[in-house]
Amino acid sequence: MSNNKTVHLVLFGIGQIGSTLINQIEAVRLRLQQDQNLQLKIPIIANSKLAFFDKDGISGTWETDFDTFSVPYKIDEIISYVNQHKFENLIAIDATASVTFTNNYIPLIENGFHIVSANKVANTLRYEFYQALRVALKKNNKSFLYETNVGAGLPVIETVKNLYNSGDQINRIRGVFSGSLSYIFNTFSNADVPFSKIINDASNLGLTEPDAREDLSGNDVARKLLILARELNIKTEFQDIVIESLVPKQLNGKTTLHQFKSRSKELDAPFVKLKTALETNQVLRYVGDLDVAKNKLEVKLISEDRNSALGQLKGADSVFEIFTKSYGEQPLVIQGAGAGKHVTARGVLSDVIKLSSLIN
Ligand SMILES: NC(=O)c1ccc[n+]([C@@H]2O[C@H](COP(=O)([O-])OP(=O)(O)OC[C@H]3O[C@@H](n4cnc5c(N)ncnc54)[C@H](OP(=O)(O)O)[C@@H]3O)[C@@H](O)[C@H]2O)c1
C-alpha cells in the first residue's frame, strides 16, 4: 500500500457544479482514505468576488463559513497563500463559466497548480491560446483534465484520447451533444405538440439556458465539436465550424429575450413543415458531425432513421458515435445523461482522483 497522500484543491466556482462537488468529496472522503490513502483537502473556495480560506480544509459548515468569513481576493493572493503554507499537490478546479478566469490558467500552472475544469472556455478560445496552454503545462510538468467539457460525466474525451494515442484512425465523430436539444427533438418526434411549447417545457424543466436561443443557436454543440476535433490534433477554430442555427433570423440577437418568448410560436410552422416532409421511419435530430478526412465540422439538423442509435435516443440523453478503422462499420457508441449537476460534479471528481494518482 502506498503512503498517505494529501492533495490540495482550490475551488473556483461554488455554483451548481462546485457546491455539488464539495458535497460529493465529503461523502467519499472516508473511502478514498481507506482504499487509496488519499486525502482531499480544500483550503480555498471562491466565487467571482470572494474567497474563503481555511488552511486545514473546509468542513461541513463551508456554506455558512463562506457567508461569514469570505473576503475579496485577487489571484495573486491565492498563490501567495498556498506558497506561504507550503501546500503540495495543488489542483485548481475551474467550476465557473467565466472567460476571464481562463487568464489565470497559465499563472496558476507556473505556480505549481494542475488544472481540472468543467468550463469549456479554455479549450475553445483561439488555437494560439490552446497551444500556449499546452506548452506551459509541458514546461511545468503539470496536467490539465477536462472530461466534463463534452458529455458531462460520460467518458467521451478520455475514450477519444485513448483511441487517438493508441494509433486507431478516427474517421468521424457524430452525435447529439446537447441534452436540451436532445429533449426538444426526442419529444417533437414522438408527440403532436407545437415546437414552441416544447421549448417552453424544456426551459421550465431547467434543461435550457435561461435564454433558450443559446442552445438553439448551435454554439454550445459547436464548442463541444471543436474540443473533440482538437483532441485529434486538428488545428481548427470556432469560426471554421458550419453551424445551422435554429433561431429564425427575425428572432436572433437583435430581439430581446421577452420578444423571443412572446413570438416563439413563429417557430411552429417551419418545424411542422420539416416533420411532415420526413419519411415514416425518420425523426429529426440536431447533431454535431466531425468528418476527419474532409476536415469538416458541422452542426446541423438532420433526418435520421428512428431505429439508429441517434434515432432511438430518449429523454435528454446525449449520444456520441465514434467511427474508427478498428471498429469498422459499426461505431463505438457512448450514451447517457450528458448534463446535470450530479453527473457533472462526479466527472470533475473523477478527474481529480485520476490526477491525484498521477502526482506525487
Ligand atoms: N450544469 C451542467 O450540466 C454542466 C455540464 C458540463 C459542464 N458544465 C460547466 O460547469 C461550469 C459551472 O456550471 P454551474 O452550472 O455550476 O454554473 P453556476 O451555477 O452559474 O456557478 C458558477 C460559479 O462560478 C463563479 N464564478 C464566475 N466567474 C468567476 C471568476 N472569474 N472567478 C471565480 N469564480 C467565478 C460564480 O460566482 P458568482 O456567484 O460570484 O458569479 C459561481 O459561483 C460551467 O462552465 C458549465 O458550462 C455544466
The CB of 101 under 6 Å from ligand 1? The reply is: yes
Distance 65 CA to ligand 1 centre (A): 20
From the number of C-beta atoms within 10 Å of its C-beta (0-12, 13-18, 19+), residue 194 rates as middle
Residues 95 and 46: their CA atoms lie apart, in Å, by 10
Beta partners for residue 92, in sequence order: 10, 115
Residues (pLDDT < 70) of the chain are 1-2
For ligand 1, whether the C-beta of 146 sits within 6 Å is no
- Give the model's pLDDT for residue 360: 75
**Measured distance CA(70)–CA(53) in Å, rounded:** 7
Q: Scan for cell 433570423, then name that residue.
A: 249
191: cell is: 408527440
For the beta sheet containing 90-94, the strands, ordered from the edge strand earlier in sequence to the opposite edge, are 71-72, 50-53, 38-46, 5-12, 90-94, 113-117, 144-145
The atom of ligand 1 lying closest to the CA of 18 is 16
CA dihedral 243, 248, 252, 254 (to 10 degrees): 140
Residue 111 and residue 89: Cα distance in Å, rounded?
11
Tell me the CA–centroid distance for residue 260 and ligand 1, in Å: 25
Query: Which ligand 1 atom sits nearest the alpha carbon of residue 98?
Result: 28
State the distance from the centre of ligand 1 to the C-alpha of 28, rounded, in angstroms: 23
What is the whole-number distance in angstroms between the Cα of residue 185 and the centre of ligand 1?
27
233: left (phi over 0), alpha (psi -120 to 50) or beta: left
Q: Is residue 97 in contact with ligand 1, taking CB distance under 6 Å? A: yes
Please report the pLDDT score of residue 81 as a whole number. 98
Q: Which residues are catalytic?
A: 224
DSSP letters for 28-45: HHHHHHHHH-EEEEEEEE
pLDDT for the residue 302 = 97
Kindly state if the Cβ of 14 falls inside 6 Å of ligand 1.
Answer: yes
- The answer to whether 180 touches 207, Cβ cutoff 8 Å, is yes
Q: Report the nearest-CA residue for atom 30 of ligand 1.
A: 48
For residues 256 and 250, the answer to whether their CB atoms sit within 8 Å is no
- Verify whether ligand 1 is closer than 6 Å to residue 261 (CB atom): no
User: How far does residue 4's CA lie from ligand 1's centre (Å)?
Assistant: 32
Q: Would you say the CB of residue 17 lies under 6 angstroms from ligand 1?
A: yes
Probe ligand 1: pick from 17, 120, 317, 349, max atoms within 8 Å of CB? Answer: 17
Write the DSSP symbol of residue 100.
G
Distance 149 CA to ligand 1 centre (A): 13
Is the Cβ atom of 188 under 6 angstroms away from ligand 1?
Answer: no
The CB of 344 under 6 Å from ligand 1? The reply is yes
The pLDDT assigned to 254 comes to 79
For residue 206, the model assigns a pLDDT of 80
How far apart, in whole angstroms, are the C-alpha atoms of residue 312 and residue 154? Answer: 18
| Sheet arrangement for strand 317-324 | 242-243, 296-305, 282-291, 170-176, 317-324, 332-337
CATH label, 5-152+342-358, candidates 3.20.20.80, 3.40.33.10, 3.40.50.720, 1.10.645.10: 3.40.50.720
Q: What number does CATH give the domain 156-337?
A: 3.30.360.10
User: Does any ligand 1 atom lie closer than 6 A to the CB of residue 48?
Assistant: yes
Per this entry, what is the length of the chain? Answer: 360
Adjacent-strand bridge partners of 11: 45, 93
In testing the pocket of ligand 1, which one of 22, 24, 47 has its CB within 8 Å of the most ligand atoms?
A: 47
Residue with cell 503539470: 142
What DSSP string describes 206-269? T-S-SSTHHHHTSHHHHHHHHHHHHHTT----GGGSEE---S-GGGSTTS-HHHHHHTGGGGHH
E strand residue ranges, the chain: 5-12, 38-46, 50-53, 71-72, 90-94, 113-117, 144-145, 170-176, 242-243, 282-291, 296-305, 317-324, 332-337
Element (H, E) at 338: none
Task: Show the cell assigned to 218.
Answer: 448551435
pLDDT value for 252:
82
Q: Is the CB of 46 under 6 A from ligand 1?
A: yes
Residue 2: per-residue pLDDT: 57
- The tens digit of pLDDT for each residue in 204-262 reads 888 888 788 889 999 999 999 999 999 999 999 999 999 999 998 888 877 888 888 88
Nearest CA to ligand 1 atom 21: 15
Q: Could you state, in order of their start, the residue ranges of all structural domains in the chain? A: 5-152+342-358, 156-337
Classify residue 152 as left (phi > 0), alpha (psi -120 to 50) or beta: left
**Residue 68, helix vs strand vs coil:** helix
